[in-house]
Amino acid sequence: MEQFKAKIIDPIGLHARPASLLTKEASKYKSNISLLYKDRQANLKSIMNIMALGVKEGAEIEVKADGEDEKEAINAIKAVMVDNKII
Protein backbone atom coordinates (compact mmCIF):
# COMPACT_ATOMS: atom_id res chain seq x y z
CA MET A 1 0.00 0.00 0.00
CA GLU A 2 1.17 3.49 -0.90
CA GLN A 3 -0.23 6.64 0.70
CA PHE A 4 0.28 10.33 1.32
CA LYS A 5 -1.29 13.04 3.46
CA ALA A 6 -1.92 16.59 2.29
CA LYS A 7 -3.78 19.82 2.99
CA ILE A 8 -6.34 21.13 0.49
CA ILE A 9 -5.40 24.64 -0.71
CA ASP A 10 -8.06 25.13 -3.39
CA PRO A 11 -10.25 27.99 -2.06
CA ILE A 12 -13.43 26.11 -3.00
CA GLY A 13 -12.23 22.71 -1.77
CA LEU A 14 -12.83 19.52 -3.74
CA HIS A 15 -15.59 20.77 -6.03
CA ALA A 16 -16.63 19.29 -9.39
CA ARG A 17 -13.61 20.34 -11.47
CA PRO A 18 -10.83 18.96 -9.26
CA ALA A 19 -12.94 15.91 -8.43
CA SER A 20 -13.33 15.15 -12.14
CA LEU A 21 -9.57 15.52 -12.71
CA LEU A 22 -8.86 13.09 -9.88
CA THR A 23 -11.47 10.60 -11.08
CA LYS A 24 -10.10 10.72 -14.62
CA GLU A 25 -6.54 10.06 -13.41
CA ALA A 26 -7.51 7.37 -10.87
CA SER A 27 -9.47 5.48 -13.52
CA LYS A 28 -6.25 4.85 -15.46
CA TYR A 29 -5.01 2.45 -12.76
CA LYS A 30 -6.00 -1.03 -11.61
CA SER A 31 -5.27 -0.31 -7.95
CA ASN A 32 -7.97 0.59 -5.45
CA ILE A 33 -7.49 4.29 -4.71
CA SER A 34 -9.22 5.95 -1.77
CA LEU A 35 -9.52 9.46 -0.40
CA LEU A 36 -9.91 9.70 3.37
CA TYR A 37 -11.34 12.79 5.06
CA LYS A 38 -12.21 12.89 8.74
CA ASP A 39 -13.74 9.47 9.44
CA ARG A 40 -15.04 8.93 5.91
CA GLN A 41 -13.59 7.26 2.84
CA ALA A 42 -14.36 7.69 -0.86
CA ASN A 43 -13.42 5.70 -3.94
CA LEU A 44 -11.27 8.10 -5.96
CA LYS A 45 -12.69 6.60 -9.17
CA SER A 46 -16.17 7.94 -8.31
CA ILE A 47 -16.83 11.67 -8.64
CA MET A 48 -20.02 11.35 -6.59
CA ASN A 49 -18.14 9.63 -3.74
CA ILE A 50 -15.52 12.39 -3.72
CA MET A 51 -18.02 15.24 -3.76
CA ALA A 52 -20.15 13.60 -1.05
CA LEU A 53 -17.25 14.03 1.38
CA GLY A 54 -17.64 17.82 1.30
CA VAL A 55 -13.90 18.50 1.53
CA LYS A 56 -13.23 22.21 2.17
CA GLU A 57 -10.16 24.43 1.87
CA GLY A 58 -7.69 23.73 4.68
CA ALA A 59 -8.89 20.15 5.15
CA GLU A 60 -6.36 17.44 5.94
CA ILE A 61 -6.81 14.45 3.63
CA GLU A 62 -5.11 11.14 3.01
CA VAL A 63 -4.90 9.27 -0.29
CA LYS A 64 -4.22 5.53 -0.34
CA ALA A 65 -3.57 3.18 -3.24
CA ASP A 66 -3.46 -0.59 -2.98
CA GLY A 67 -2.81 -2.90 -5.92
CA GLU A 68 -0.38 -3.93 -8.61
CA ASP A 69 0.28 -0.39 -9.87
CA GLU A 70 -0.11 1.41 -6.53
CA LYS A 71 3.18 3.32 -6.68
CA GLU A 72 2.49 4.72 -10.14
CA ALA A 73 -1.10 5.52 -9.16
CA ILE A 74 -0.22 7.40 -5.97
CA ASN A 75 2.51 9.40 -7.74
CA ALA A 76 0.13 10.34 -10.57
CA ILE A 77 -2.67 11.38 -8.21
CA LYS A 78 -0.28 13.51 -6.17
CA ALA A 79 1.06 15.14 -9.35
CA VAL A 80 -2.46 16.01 -10.54
CA MET A 81 -3.26 17.53 -7.15
CA VAL A 82 -0.08 19.62 -7.07
CA ASP A 83 -0.22 20.67 -10.75
CA ASN A 84 -3.83 21.84 -10.38
CA LYS A 85 -3.20 23.58 -7.04
CA ILE A 86 -5.55 21.28 -5.15
CA ILE A 87 -2.85 20.59 -2.55
Q: Is 15 a catalytic residue?
A: yes
Nearest alpha carbon to residue 12 among 62, 42, 48, 56: 56
Q: Which helix (H) or strand (E) covers residue 63, if one does?
A: strand 60-66
Catalytic residue among 4, 6, 9, 15: 15
Rg (CA), the chain: 11
Task: Tell me the catalytic residues.
Answer: 15
